[in-house]
Amino acid sequence: MQPAAMAQGPAKPGDILNYQGQDREQRLIEQAKQEGTLALYTSLAPTESKPLAAAFEKKYGVKVEETFFSTTDEAMAADRDAYARFFGAMLDEGVLLPPSQFEAWFISLAHDREFIDETVAAARKAFRA
């Protein structure tokens, strides 16, 4: 259950992390636009992350600043508790992810479009959890 104050929306920019209203995604986009940039921390290869960043920038008009993990210390600074929450929420939706945020997801020919769409829908729901 949301605190009464959160029912009206987040009071401070950082409160968006805990806000669970129906308009959460729109508020996140608005917040990114106000800040002017979105920080993306990734271990994806630039050949993979740069097209994603470019598509986000084109769609939302928000600059994406990429930071690539290249050392163990950088990776360990990531929010492992957030991944644990995401992992649990995905499991609740019937999707079993790698138990560590440092492992990769793989898509193969065994995964049809319906399965991928279901996984994406589960992830959208899990991101809100």
pLDDT digits (tens, 9 = 90+) for 41-96: 787 788 888 988 899 899 889 999 888 877 888 778 778 888 888 899 999 999 99
Type and span of the H or E element at 67: strand 63-68
Please tell me the predicted confidence (pLDDT) of residue 7: 46
Residues 84, 124: one domain?
yes
Tell me how many domains the chain contains.
2
Please tell me the predicted confidence (pLDDT) of residue 100: 84
Residues 59, 90: one domain?
no
Does residue 113 belong to any structural domain of this protein?
A: yes
Does residue 100 belong to any structural domain of this protein?
A: yes
Residues 53, 88: one domain?
no
Does residue 38 belong to any structural domain of this protein?
A: yes
Structural domain containing residue 65: 29-78
Residues 92, 119: one domain?
yes
Does residue 118 belong to any structural domain of this protein?
A: yes
Is 38 in a helix, a strand, or coil? strand
Residues 44, 83: one domain?
no
Residues 101, 70: one domain?
no
- C-alpha–C-alpha distance, residues 67 and 102, integer Å: 15
Residues 71, 33: one domain?
yes
Q: 42: which strand partners?
A: 68
Residues 72, 33: one domain?
yes
Look at residue 13 and tell me whether its pLDDT is greater than 60: no
CA diameter of the chain: 47
